[in-house]
Amino acid sequence: MQEPRAESDERVPRFSEQRVEETVAVLQVRGELDIGSAEALRHALDEAEAHANIVRLDAASVQFLDSTALGVLLASAQRLAAKGGRLELMNASPAVRRILDMTLIARTVHLIP
């Protein structure tokens, strides 16, 4: 007769659910994002990342974005991904979407229409 397996037996399948609350920070950004504003963008993203694992950047009022600003977004997206979160970009203008598509960074930053 087979002995029942003890609770401590690693072969016994066990299931536990851990509720993870996703925290979302919405960051409203306005103006032109280039090398002159990259540091301010980096600082704003750092602050949002400190208390959220999903940062949603509302780009509705972003009039311009270049590859320097893109680098800041990419670094933030990578940091968030490393802790299980993500960077989302919402309301991006066609011009902003164009550079995201051109550089394939749209694969790393989640675009929300």
Partner 1 sequence: MNDEQVQLELTVPSTAENIPLVRHAVAGFLDGHEMSDELASDVLLAVTEACTNVVQHAYRGSPPSGGEIEVSAEYVSSELTIAVRDRGLGFAPRVDSPGLGLGLPVIAALTRNVEIRPLPPSGTEVVMTFMLDEP
- Binding of partner 1 at residue 34 (CB under 8 A)? yes
C-alpha 41/C-alpha 18 separation (Å) is: 34
C-alpha torsion angle, residues 27, 33, 35, 37 (rounded to 10): -50
Q: Which is nearer to partner 1, 27 or 100 (CB)?
A: 100
Q: What's the min distance (Å) between Cβ of 57 and partner 1?
A: 18
Closest listed residue to residue 72, CA positions, set 95, 111, 38:
38
Q: How much of the chain is helix, strand and coil, in % rounded to 5?
A: 35, 25, 35
Q: CB under 8 A: which stretch of 41-49, 50-58, 60-68, 79-87 binds partner 1?
A: 60-68
Q: CB under 8 A: which stretch of 9-17, 19-27, 48-56, 62-70 binds partner 1?
A: 62-70
Q: Which is nearer to partner 1, 36 or 84 (CB)?
A: 36
Contact yes or no for 56/27 (Cβ under 8 A): yes
Q: What's the min distance (Å) between Cβ of 60 and partner 1?
A: 16
C-alpha 5/C-alpha 11 separation (Å) is: 8
Contacts to partner 1 by CB under 8 A: 32, 34-36, 64, 66-68, 70-71, 74, 94-95, 98-99, 102-103
